[in-house]
Amino acid sequence: MDVLEPFRLSNRVAIVTGASSGLGARFARVLVGAGASVVVAARRADRIEALAKEHDCVAVPCDVTDAADRDRLMTATLERFGRVDILVNNAGIGVPEPAEAETPERFAEVLDVNLTAAFALSQLVGRSMLEAGRGNIVNVVSILGIVSAGQIPFPSYAASKGGLIALTRELAGEWSRRGVRVNALAPGWFESEMTAEMFADERSMTWVRRKAPMGRPGQPHELDGALLFLASDASSYVTGQVLAVDGGWTAV
């Protein structure tokens, strides 16, 4: 028996949003490496086109907050592959700002990208999955949807990720009997475009090393196994769960 077989994604079709850089681009590479046919989506067309050329993906420029763009992403995927087996909702924005200073307009903008768009795309793709009787959605959330960072003020981002965790559980509850599993991947402190300034600041890194039980931030490859687990049949009896990859941050 091949114990790795459940992790293989041959003949699976995946959409990854927010794939123009950082963790999203890596998620796409990991899924391709496991055998999936991957459609990468993001606003920065030049970046996803370069990624697609390098890793044999399909690039579809997409602003996830735009209904026409979401429809075009879904149509392009179905025209090319005929179905969607995996959706990774990774697109997200956020800039630290104290709660007393963040405007309601900015708060709404962050929720629109991080939560509302994830729901709209899950609904669009989910209808196709429900019709097929199978599918798998992985929502990329954050430990800030589980606990407060405290020293790093992030009200809109934390609210959006907390909401996405609740949405993950609700969709799992509604759709799991119909063959569609929905789970969430919650990274701790990993370097990305959003955290680049923090990683460049030694005081911030000292804080992370002091607070994290494992004494360090995460390395990008340390999310690979968790993503593959949630995206594959290895997690066939797992739904509505939040898998934190955070060096123990939320355990203490």
Q: Would you name the residues annotated as active-site residues?
A: 157
What distance in Å separates the CA atoms of residue 144 and residue 250, rounded to the nearest whole number? 9
Q: Concatenate the DSSP letters of all residues of 61-98 into one string.
A: E--TT-HHHHHHHHHHHHHHHS---EEEE---------
Inter-CA distances, 197 with 58, 95, 202, 203, Å: 31, 11, 10, 11
CA dist 166 and 232 (Å) reads 22
Q: How far is CA 238 from CA 30, 78, 126, 181, 229, in A?
A: 20, 26, 17, 7, 10
Question: Quick one: tokens of 121?
Answer: 């795309």
38 close to 11: Cβ distance less than 8 angstroms: no
